[in-house]
Amino acid sequence: MAKLVLQSYCFSLCFLFLLLCEEKPIAALSRDDFPSDFIFGAGTSAFQVEGAAAEDGRKPSIWDPFCHAGKMADHSNADVAADQYHKYKANVKLMHEMGLDAYRFSIAWPRLIPDGRGEINPKGLKYYNNLINELLSYGIQPHVTLYHFDLPLALEEEYNGLLSTKFIDDFTAYADVCFREFGDRVKNWITLNEPNVEPLGGYDAGNFPPERCSFPFGSANCTAGNSTIEPYIVTHNLLLGHASVVSLYREKYQAEQGGKIGITILAMWFKSATENPEDIAAARRIVDFHIGWLMDPLVFGDYPTVMRKIVGSRLPVFTDEDSRRIKGSYDFIGLNHYATIYVQADTIQLEHQLRDYMRDVAIKIPGKSTKSRLALLLKYTDDFIPATPWGLSELLDHVKEYYGNPLTLIHENGEAEVVDPTTTAMVYEDDFRINYLEQYLEALQLSIRNGSNTQGYFVWSLMDTWEFLAGYTLRYGLFGVGWQFGMAQLIFFSSFLLLLSSVFLILCEDKATVALSRGDFAPGFIFGAGASAYQVEGAAAEDGREPSIWDPYCHAGNMADHSSGEVAADQYHKYKANAKLMYEMGLDAYRFSIAWPRLIPDGRGEVNPKGLQYYNNLINELLSYGIQPHVTLYHFDLPQALQDEYNGLLSTNFIDDFKGYADACFREFGDRVKHWITLNEPNVEPLGGYDRGNLPPQRCSYPFGAVNCTEGNSTTEPYIVAHNLLLAHASAVSLYREKYQVEQQGKIGITLLALWFDPATQNPEDVAAARRMIDFHIGWFIHPLVYGTYPAVIKKNVGSRLPVLIDQDSRRVKGSFDFIGVNHYGSIPVQDDMRQLENQVRDYMSDTAVKMPSFGRLHKKVNEDNQPNPSGLSKLLEYLKEIYGNPPIVIHENGAPEIVNWASCKRTYDDDFRTSYLKQYLEALIASFHKYSCAIFLFFRSKLTLHASLAFSLLSFH
C-alpha cells in the first residue's frame, strides 16, 4: 500500500453550519441563531477511518473477514481507510481550524482489548489517550462511542457474539476499562451506535457480519441463522448491555468524573404515502418498530405494545429487574437522522406464519422491493432520497411529545455524493449537499425554538469514510479523502462556525474604535495569563501538603499587611470555576506552578496522591476548555523540609532533589503538558533570600541585609544559590530531553525577571553602568544558557566569589532551553557608582557598581510611580535578539498593580491606568515583531486572579 498523503485546500463546499458562503447578501443562519451552549461537531467511527487494521496489536473485528471476502460494493476493505491512526494530529488540527466544538468518534474494542476480554493492548490505550489529549489541547470535546458495530471477532467465534448474554458481561468489562482510562477527560459517552441497525443487517437480511439469516428472508446466502427471532434477541442483548454499562458508570464513575452517558439510535422518519387510515396507521407502526423498539424500553421499561402484539413470543421479555435497570438509563438520546420515508400499509404480511422484522412491520415503500426497503431502514443505500427537513422537525416533535423531551443530540446528519469507483477523478459538485445541510439546520433551529431539548448537532462525517456496505463509493465528508492509487488526500472545504477571540479585556474598552485586535498579531500567537501555586492555591494545610519556606515566613508577620497564603484565591477548591472564567475570557493558555510541597511534601520520596489528583484535575479541566497548560516546576516555594535538612538552595543536594521532583512531574503530567518552565525568576530568589534577606530563608550579613538576619553571607551566597539553580535547571532539561521529550513532544525553558535599565544621563559612565546592570541582571543567567559561561563583567567584578562552571557543567547548561521566558514590568534609570568596587567586602549590588532608585526594584515587581515605559520592552527584545541570537521568547509576565488600602473595606477597581499600561506594552510588542523580527510567540498577562504578591501583599476575598 502506498504511503498516504494528506493535503489541505479549499474547494466549493463551504460547509453550511453558518451558511455564510452562499451568494446572498445576508447569511440565512448564524451560530447566534442557536443557544449559546449549543454544540456543533462532526463524527466518524473507528473502523471507518482509523486503518492500521493489523498494526500495534489490533486484532480483527467481525467486519475484517467480511470485507476481505469482497462483500463491499467496491470490493474494498478498511485496512487503511482514512489512516487516522497515524494522522490524528493533522486531523485534529483541521477540526480546530474549522471551529468544531466537538468530535464524535468510537473506540475500536478489538484495538483496545484485542480478544474482547482480558489484557489491554498498551498501543491501543496510548493511541486513544493521544487522540483525546490532542482534541482537548485544541479545546475540542471528545464524544466517545463505545461500540460502533466492530465486535471483536474472537467473541463472535467463541459464543456467537451478540446472540449470547455473555456479550453483556464482556461489554460491561470493556466499558469499565474505557471509563477508568479515559473518563477523567471524556465527559460524553455513547454506549451503542444504532442498535436498531445491526440486528437487521447482521441477523435478518444477513448483509452485515456475522451474515446470519434464514430463508426466505436473507438478502445473502447465509449458512446459519434465524431471521424470525435473532434480530429481536440481539436487540434485547444490546439493550441489556447498554443498561449494564450505564449502571456501572453511574455507580462507579459518574459522581467523580462528572460526565454524561447515553445511546444513539438510527431515527429515520416515516410518513404515510396517502391519507388512507391504514397507511397512517402503517407509518405510526414503523415508527414504533424503528424508534420505539429502543426508546420505549429506555423511557417506559418495555417494548411498544404494537411489537408485543405482532411479534408475540418471538420478542424477549424483560424481567422486572431488567425493566428497572433499562428504564431511564440515559442522560441524553442521540439521533442519527438522514431522511423521511413514505410508507403504505401491507397488512397481508401478517398472515404469514413465518415472519421476520420486515413482515412484522407490515409496510411497503412505494416503488421499492423488499430488499430495497430494508436497505433504506439500514440507511446503507445509494438511492437518492430528497431532503425532507420537515421530517426532522416531526421526529423531534415526536420525541418531545411521546418521550418527555429528553436531552437530545443529533449525532449524525448529512448527505452523500455517490462516487464512480472506476474513475480516478476527484470532482466535488456539492451544491446539493450545501442545500441539504442548510435545510436541515433551519428545521433544527425551528424545532429548538418550538421547545425541542436538542443541544447539539454533529454532521456525518468529518471526512470521507469507508462506508459500511458501500466502501469508498459514498462521500459524506467535510473533508474529501482521495483513495485513488492508494493515496489519501485530505481536502478541506469548510469554513464552519468561526469563533471570535479577544486580546484579554483590553478589547472591551468603551471606545468607538479599538486600537488593537488579535488580528494584529501573528497567526498562532498565544495569549495567556498566569499565577503561581503559593499565591493562589490556598489549602495550605490540606490534603497532605507540607510547609514551604514561605509558610513560616508569612506566619511570622513579614508581609506588608501581615497576611499569609493559607487561603489566597482558594484555587485548590475553585479551579473549575477559574478554568471556566479563563475560557470565557478567550485565553489560549494558563501559566501556573506546581507546589513542590503539595506534590512531594518532604521534597523527596513519596508522591502525595491528593496533590497528584489536584494537578491532574486542573490540567484536565484546562484542556477540556482548550486552554494550554504552561507549567512552572519551581516558583520560590521550596519544601521547608529541604531547607531544614541541608539549607536548601545553598546545597548541591538541591540539584538531585529538584531533578527527582521534575521527573515525577514529567512522568505524571507530561502526556498533556507541552510547555514546561523549570524555574521562575532564578535571578530574584538569590537576592531577596540570600543578599537582602527580606525573602525566605532570610539569610544575609551586615551591612548588606535589609533585615536583621541571624545567619548568612551576602557576599557569596547569592552567587552560590544562582549557580545551583542553573545546574538544577540544566539537570532537569537534560532529564526531559533524554527520557521524555521525544515521546511527549513538549518544550522546556526557563523564566527570568527581565527589567530594562536605561542610563540616567548620556554620560558615558552612566551608559556603561546601564549595560553592566543588564549583564548582572539578565546576563547572569542567559549568558550561561547561550554561551556556557558567566558574563565577563561578572567574572571580573565578583572574582573568586563567583562559582566556576566546569567543562561538564558548561556543556550541560549551554543550550538547555527551547525557549526563554521573560517577566517584564518596567524600566529603571541607573547611574554609575564605581566607588563601590573599592570596598573589600561587597555584595551583589556593590558588584554592579550602579545607583538606582531602589534595590528592591530588582526583586519586587512594583513600579512606585506606576508609569509604563513600553520602549523598555522593545529595547529588551532587541537586546535579546542581537546579543543572544534571537531565541524563542515567551512574555510570561507583564502587568501593573493597583495599590490596595487594606484599612478600607471598599472594593474599588479604577483600572484605566492598568488598561492603558497593557495596551501600550502590547503595541510595543507588535512594533518589536515588525521592527526587530523578534521571535516572540506568547504573551501572558499577569495575573489571572487576585492573589498574594510575594513580599508585597495578599488579596483574599471569600
Residue identified by cell 541607573 is 830
Q: At a CB cut-off of 8 Å and minimum separation 6, what does 54 contact? A: 79
Indicate whether 727 belongs to any domain.
yes
Which is more confidently placed, 307 or 378?
A: 307
Q: Regarding predicted confidence, which is higher, 663 or 221?
A: 663
Q: Domain tally for the chain?
A: 2
* Mean pLDDT of all residues in 250-255: 97
Model confidence at 869, pLDDT cuts 50, 70, 90, reads confident
Q: Verify that 437 and 546 share a domain, yes or no.
A: no
In a domain, 225, yes or no: yes
Q: Distance between the two ends of the chain, CA-based, in angstroms?
A: 63
Q: Which of 412, 417, 438, 621 is catalytic?
A: 412
Is there a cis peptide before residue 943, judged by omega within 30 degrees of 0? Answer: yes
Q: What is the DSSP string of 540-587?
A: TTSTT---BTHHHHHHTT-STTS--SSSTT-HHHHHHHHHHHHHHHT-
Structure confidence at residue 505 (pLDDT): 28
The pLDDT of residue 379 is 58
194 is catalytic: yes
- Quick one: 481 and 570 in the same domain? no
Instruction: Return the pLDDT at 950.
Output: 31
Confidence of residue 939 (pLDDT cuts 50, 70, 90): low
Q: In this structure, are 888 and 746 located in the same domain? A: yes
At residue 182, the pLDDT reads 97
pLDDT above 70: percentage of residues in the chain = 84
Give tens-digit pLDDT for 607-646: 999 999 999 999 999 999 999 999 999 999 999 999 999 9
Check whether 469 has a pLDDT greater than 90. no
Q: Which domain holds residue 362?
A: 34-502
Same domain for 888 and 767? yes
Segment 169-195 shows an average pLDDT of: 97
Res 947 pLDDT > 80: no
Per-residue pLDDT tens digits for 481-519: 765 434 444 443 333 332 222 222 222 233 333 456 677
* Residues 489, 540 share a domain: no
Can you state the angle between helices 230-248 and 293-300, rounded to 10 degrees? 40
Buried b (16+ CB within 10 A) or exposed e, 452-484: bbbbbbbbbbbbbbbbbbbbbbbbbbbbbbbbe
Q: Are 757 and 789 members of one domain?
A: yes
Burial status of residue 366 (CB atoms within 10 A of its CB: 0-12, 13-18, 19 or more): exposed
Residue 513 lies in a domain: no
Question: What would the pLDDT profile of 777-791 be if each residue is shown by its tens digit?
Answer: 999 999 999 999 999
Closest CA to 551 of 856, 948, 957, 901: 948
Residue 515 domain-assigned? no
Computed over every residue of the chain, the mean pLDDT equals 86
Report the pLDDT value the prediction gives residue 155, as an integer from 0 to 100: 97
Q: Tell me: cis bond preceding 452? Omega within 30 of 0 counts.
A: no
Environment class of 724 (CB within 10 Å of its CB; exposed 0-12, middle 13-18, buried 19+) = buried
- Residues of the chain with pLDDT > 90, as a percent, come to 70
Q: What is the mean pLDDT of residues 73-89?
A: 92
DSSP 8-70: ----S---TTS-TTSSSSS-S--GGGS-TT-EEEEE--HHHH---TTSTT---BTHHHHHHTT
Choosing from 468, 502, 536, the residue where a domain stops is 502
Lowest model confidence (mean pLDDT) among 444-448, 774-778, 923-927? 923-927
pLDDT confidence of 920, banded at 50, 70, 90?
Answer: confident
Three cell numbers at 791?
Answer: 558574563
C-alpha cell at 354: 413465518
Considering the candidates 50, 156, 194, 893, report the single residue annotated as catalytic: 194
List, in sequence order, every beta strand (DSSP E) within 461-525: 474-475, 479-482, 489-492
The secondary element (H helix, E strand) that includes residue 261 is: strand 260-266
Is there a single domain that holds both residue 572 and residue 492? no
**Other C-beta atoms within 10 Å of 955: how many?**
21
Nearest CA-CA partner of 661 in 697, 637, 634, 686: 634
- Asked whether residue 450 falls in the same domain as residue 547, the answer is no
Q: Give pLDDT, residue 918.
A: 82
Assess whether pLDDT exceeds 50 at residue 366: yes
Q: 275 pLDDT exceeds 80? A: yes
pLDDT, tens digit, 9 for 90 and up, residues 704-760: 988 788 899 999 999 999 999 999 999 999 999 999 999 999 999 999 999 999 999
Of 202-206, 220-224, 326-330, 504-508, which range is least confident? 504-508
Nearest to 664 by CA among 724, 739, 729: 739
Let me know whether 448 and 597 are in one domain: no
Identify whether residues 451 and 359 lie together within a single domain: yes
Partnered with residue 341 across adjacent β-strands are 270
Does 467 fall in a domain? yes
Note whether 659 and 599 are same-domain residues: yes
Q: Kindly give, in sequence order, each residue whose CB lies less than 8 Å from that of residue 804, ignoring residues fewer than 6 positions away.
A: none
Clarify whether 542 is annotated catalytic: no
More confident position, 878 or 548: 548
Tell me, what's the pLDDT at 373?
55
Per-residue pLDDT tens for 380-417? Answer: 554 556 789 999 999 999 999 999 999 999 999 998 88
Q: What is the CATH number of the domain that holds 923?
A: 3.20.20.80
Q: Which of 241, 237, 232 is nearest to 313 (CA)?
A: 232
The pLDDT of residue 470: 87
Task: Note whether 543 and 487 are same-domain residues.
Answer: no
Task: Tell whether 21 is covered by a domain.
Answer: no
Last residue of a domain, one of 460, 486, 502: 502
In a domain, 956, yes or no: no
Answer yes or no: is 511 within a domain. Answer: no
